[in-house]
Amino acid sequence: MHVVLVEPAFPRNQRDFARALATVGARVTGIGESPVDALDDELKSWLHGYERVRSVVDEDALTDAVRRVQDREWVDRLEATVEAHILAAAHVRERTTIPGTSVRTAWLCRDKPSMKETLSAAGVPTAQSVGASSSDDARAFADRVGFPIIVKPRTGAGAAGTYRVDDLAGLEAVLERCGVDHGESVAIEEFVEGHEAFWDTLTAGGQVVHEFIAHYYPGVLEAMRTRWISPQIVTTNQAEADRYGQVKDMGRRVLQALDIGTSATHMEWFFGPKGLKFSEIACRPPGVSMWDLYSAANDLDMYREWAQLLVHGQTEARASRRFSAGMIAFRPSQDGTISHCDGIDDIKRDHGEHIIDLYVPPPGTPTQPVEAGYMANGWLRARHPDFDTLRSILDDIGERVQLYAT
């Protein structure tokens, strides 16, 4: 099988998708923005060919690159695994008659108001939402639903560009910041109080072949706005427990309503006073290298499982559920330049057998802003057979490790 992979070099874990495809027997042609000479020898060894484009989200340029490849040989699949690339890849599939995720599905997994309208019609419990292209639209929604509300990009990922708004003055300020009334449109949602978590899958023809559940501590919006918090993401090894049955049932209804076929998915949800609520879904793997955690916790290689599914139509391993696994972010004391980190030797001594890996930026490294994400600065990943014990270990690590900047 010949698979064209969009942007195999960046971000760093993209190379794992190329590796996995090559190791299960696929010929892999990459299309990316870097010159071929910038690719390292290992990545090049996994690639059958490479096309450079100015931008992988320039649909005309991406189409031309795919057609150049098709002029040389048959293309069986065109795959993208980064959120910003999904819709462009779907449009190019349609233009070049390559099977895969449709434009409709990609659009519904990208445009949040359209997504929620479709799912509400299918009976999936979602927060009330609307697409707003004017301040009048936004104020009318706030009047109807009440504060607080959430304002976010229609096609954003994670907490990027997302705001909690508690009053009319705050709404006016956020709408101005987002460019509403100046040609921009935003998604506005009812604020749903509750615990935030996600359900990730690999699906084959709409049927789930791998599934994982992970939890945020605290929720993403708070984590991405609060420097002193060392936020955690933890995947449980109890995904088969009855308490997750409602989540998985809802998730399967979402897959059906959005016509998600053979794909990775990442679905976020809340559970609180209003019960279980769908948040959003993407038809791509989760971010922050969550597949690395799933692999370490379950004695498998999720990238290889994905590649096996695409190339051979089936996966080759079962999740062992041997461990729960989690990651914790280390935030620098302030924006600036990393000076030093305290506590690493102590936590290695006390928890070393449970640590998978960690990264601390060396002194002199410029800091990244808190809102840049869980792996923007320092981080650590760990695993343990018991979920609650793992949470305690991560809490202890978060209290003892201090990353300083000047």
Residues 343 and 267 in one domain: yes
106 within domain boundaries = no
Residues 225-243 have pLDDT tens digits of 899 999 999 999 999 999 9
173/189 Cα distance (integer angstroms) = 17
Q: Count up the domains in the chain and report the number.
A: 3
Residues 135 and 91 in one domain: no
Under a CB-based contact definition with an 8 Å cutoff, are residues 255 and 262 in contact? no
Residues 169 and 69 in one domain: no
Q: What is the mean pLDDT of residues 131-147?
A: 91
CB-count burial class (<10 Å; 0-12, 13-18, 19+) for 323: buried
CATH code at 165? 3.30.1490.20
CB-count burial class (<10 Å; 0-12, 13-18, 19+) for 133: middle
Rg (CA), the chain: 22
Local confidence band at 384 (pLDDT 50, 70, 90 cut-offs): very high
Residues 161-213 have pLDDT tens digits of 788 899 999 999 999 888 888 888 888 988 888 999 999 999 999 999 999 99
118 within domain boundaries = no
Q: State the pTM of this model.
A: 0.92
| Residue ranges making up the domain that contains 180 | 128-190
pLDDT at 290: 98
Type of residue found at 186:
V
Q: What is the mean pLDDT of residues 86-113?
A: 96
H runs (alpha helix) in 109-163: 112-121, 135-145
Residues 290-329 have pLDDT tens digits of 999 999 999 999 999 999 999 999 999 999 999 999 999 9
DSSP string, 326-348: EEEEEPBSSSSBEEEEESHHHHH
Local confidence band at 286 (pLDDT 50, 70, 90 cut-offs): very high
**Cβ density class 341-369: b for 16+ within 10 Å, e for less:** bebbeebeeebeebebebebbeeeeebee
Q: Are strands 195-204 and 207-217 parallel, antiparallel or unpaired?
A: antiparallel
CATH code at 8? 3.40.50.20
Residues 27-63 have pLDDT tens digits of 999 999 999 999 999 999 999 999 999 999 999 999 9
Local confidence band at 157 (pLDDT 50, 70, 90 cut-offs): low
Residues 340 and 361 in one domain: yes
Look over the chain and give the mean of its residue pLDDT values, rounded to a whole number: 95
